[in-house]
Chains A and B, each alone.
Chain A
Amino acid sequence: MRHEMAREVQRQIVALDVNGERTDLLLPVHKTLLEVLREDMQLTGTKHGCELGECGTCTVLVDGRPELSCLLLPVQVEGRAITTVEGMANGSVLHPLQQAFAELGAAQCGYCTPGILLAAKSLLETNARPSRDEVREALAGNLCRCTGYAKIVDAIELAASRGA
């Protein structure tokens, strides 16, 4: 693929609501939400695995629903509530999902973890006590190469049992 030089990059002021904080940013309109979160807002907890919408690594929540930030443009989500992994803990107190992932070894290299945590958070908000199959179905779009997924399902069950 040829990379055209962006001779006249169109820029736009975009107001983003991320983790309850509103920020106004002047952005090239073609920059993805993933790039803006990581590069313009220094929210590097959101990771990238493919930047093509294939691996689920860059999952964030938009109005509570999991979305792939590599396929979103900031202008699409202006004024909507965006949650990244940095917004999960309550101050220094871990979210029950984060606590369970830590306790049960559900993060190994930890790279897919932020996206999976957010997808799981969305699941538990709509289904407080999902079965193991429902957990697998909800997370089928998130790849992990370390864990074999078992401890992730265990951790989500544990968090659910604690009323996450």
Chain B
Amino acid sequence: MGQWEPPGGGWGGANERWSSRTGPGEGGRRHHHHHHPGRKLRCLRRSPDNRVFGGVCGAVSSATGIDAMWVRIGFVLLAICSGVMLLVYAAAWLLIPMEGESANIYSRAVNDRRGIRLVAAVLIPVMIAVQVITSTLHVAFVGFIGWPTFLAVGVLILIWRNANESEKAFIDEDVVPLFGPDTRGEGRRWLLARVAVGVLIGAGGIVVLVEGHTTAAALRPVGGAALVVAASVIIFGPWWLSLVRDLIAERQARALAEERAQMAAHVHDSVLQTLALIQRSSDDPQHVVRLARAQERELRAWLFEGRPPGAIGDDATMLAEGVGLLQRQVEADHGIAVQVVMVGDCELDEALRALLDAAREATVNAAKWSGADQVSVYAEVEPETVMLYVRDRGRGFDPDAVPEDRQGIAQSIRARVSRFGGAAVIRSAPGEGAEVQLSMPRRERVR
């Protein structure tokens, strides 16, 4: 341990919960695993890949080992017998966290202060306005339906804010179109037609209202309601605006933070790695010049041509080609033998390039810190996933003892693959070498 940490970087597992497991008869040797395809999971976790709606049945299936199809069939049958099952499903969706996340949607929603404030700020005035209007118009039943509706809307907004990106995408794509068409082309015309019809019906309603009373008396409650709405807009308007502004700022801040994390990962991969190399080869001026020149070329390409540094596979179109490039690069830069074994091959896409970048990071790390003279890279293309293993027989380290705030693996390896739904697992123990196991689901599945 210790040897495994580059200056200012190293194997760090920030925000990750390792579940430890000791294999039979292995004494002090520790296995560390995160979710790993093909391995049984101990607790309920919803998987983004194995789901029809929220992934609850998939979670039950992987926790119990029963085939997901049977779980789903059983659930549908139960739901037909009793509607309560639908509520149970919704509750399970809220309470079972997504794979790779520690908090469920429910606990995040409850702790989402800003969201609660937003919902309160918008819904309470609207509810008051509706209450006032309905009571002046003597249509109490609107209030009767209205209260639960508002409560439901508020809860839905909170849930939506606290669902993660993939679930948001799922809601956006699959649930929202049920309620409103999209606002492009055909959909836009449809929306206009709907609004027009709505306005006509509304106008008709006002006409009926006015005809039902004597003219002056009928206008008075309508006018009063309009005044109340105007008043609430004047009183709450600035508050709403500031909330909306906050919301936009929050979104921008999040985007900025993401950008920064990506930038940090890139700089770590390229500039910091090169600087570390230069320090180690200060007695070989030619090598230093070569390193500096290569780094300069890479930085220029990044800053002025928008090509990410350290990215492999820019020139490669197939996975095997990319792995070959990785092998040559690391062998040339670090003077270590990289043994590559490939099973199958497929075309590279964005996600697989990220997988390659993570693999390179792992290989470079092994080359620099393991002390071994050879690193094994094994890649296998399966119908649904691509697995990639980087293994060395070096000095190894204790993944639990790595400080949480270290850059290396947290940012570069795990973030790179998890951005595309992949996973990274590190297995190592002092004196036992290390193995980084990477997996990435394939976009274009082989049928």
On whether the two chains bind one another, the answer is no
